[in-house]
Amino acid sequence: MAAKWISWLDERLGLTTIYRTILDRKVPKVNWFFTLGSATLFLGVLQGLTGIFLTVYYVPHPEQAYDSINYIMTEVSFGWLIRGIHHWGASLLVITVFLHMLRTFFYGAYKYPREITWVTGVFLLLLTLGMGFTGYLLPWNQRAFWATTVATSITETVPFIGPFINTALRGGTELSTLTLVRFFSAHIWILPALVVAIVGIHLYLVVRIGISHVPAKDE
């Protein structure tokens, strides 16, 4: 019975083809450093899931943001766990992204034919830092407020367009409700959308070209 259902689905969805192209393929024998990519993917997905849970209760407004996070931490069942994972996951993700890049670099895996995989990876590294930067403000506590005040004021020193960047980030001359909602929308919509799109390309290339092998001494 089950076999019949599976073959019915397979006929229509092409499951066997997917299995053969993605799962059942030969790849070079590699070491544990090659798990950094999948670890990054896992942490990214985890950030997405915990982030979605957090938006259920989080209110992006200066008067309520702090209290809403307090509520998550004290009232919501396992809210502390979700927030804790999201908080620490961000740091861990930055580490794995960085190590993943170093692994690729030291094994020369960015060379032919994986140049585009590398370029998309660099964009993902920058986007990860952008996620960290925008997410840092959202708790609207002293730490968040003053770190973001300093960070955004630094952009003012960029020649010519500095003042514009600063105003665009803050939504005015000072940190305000506008800054918070801008960072919030960047953090939960704009940057994640870009991340998902680029991760799609990145993974497509990884499957299409295959993971690199550990270079031998004569290579």
Q: Does 77 bind other proteins (CB under 8 A)?
A: no
- By CB under 8 A, tell whether 175 contacts other proteins: yes
Minimum Å gap between C-beta 109 and other proteins is 8
Greatest Cα pair distance in the chain: 70
At closest approach, how far in Å is the CB of 192 from other proteins? Answer: 18
Of residues 14, 84, 163, 200, which one binds other proteins by CB under 8 A?
Answer: 84
Task: Report the b/e string of 20-32 with b at 16+ CB within 10 A.
Answer: eeeeeeeeeeeee
Binding segment for other proteins (CB under 8 A), chosen from 6-14, 51-59, 157-165, 191-199, is: 157-165
The CB-of-1 to other proteins minimum distance in angstroms stands at: 26
User: Applying CB under 8 A, what is the total number of residues that bind other proteins?
Assistant: 86
User: What are the contacts of 49-52 at 24+ separation with CB within 8 A?
Assistant: 50/82, 50/83, 50/85, 50/86, 50/89, 51/86, 51/188, 51/192
Residue 4: burial class (beta carbons within 10 Å; 0-12, 13-18, 19+): exposed
Q: Which is nearer to other proteins, 21 or 185 (CB)?
A: 21
User: Is residue 173 close enough to count as binding other proteins by CB under 8 A?
Assistant: no
In whole angstroms, give the CA distance from residue 26 to residue 29: 9
Under the binding rule (CB under 8 A), the answer on residue 48 touching other proteins is no
Residue among 81, 168, 178, 197 that touches other proteins (CB under 8 A): 81
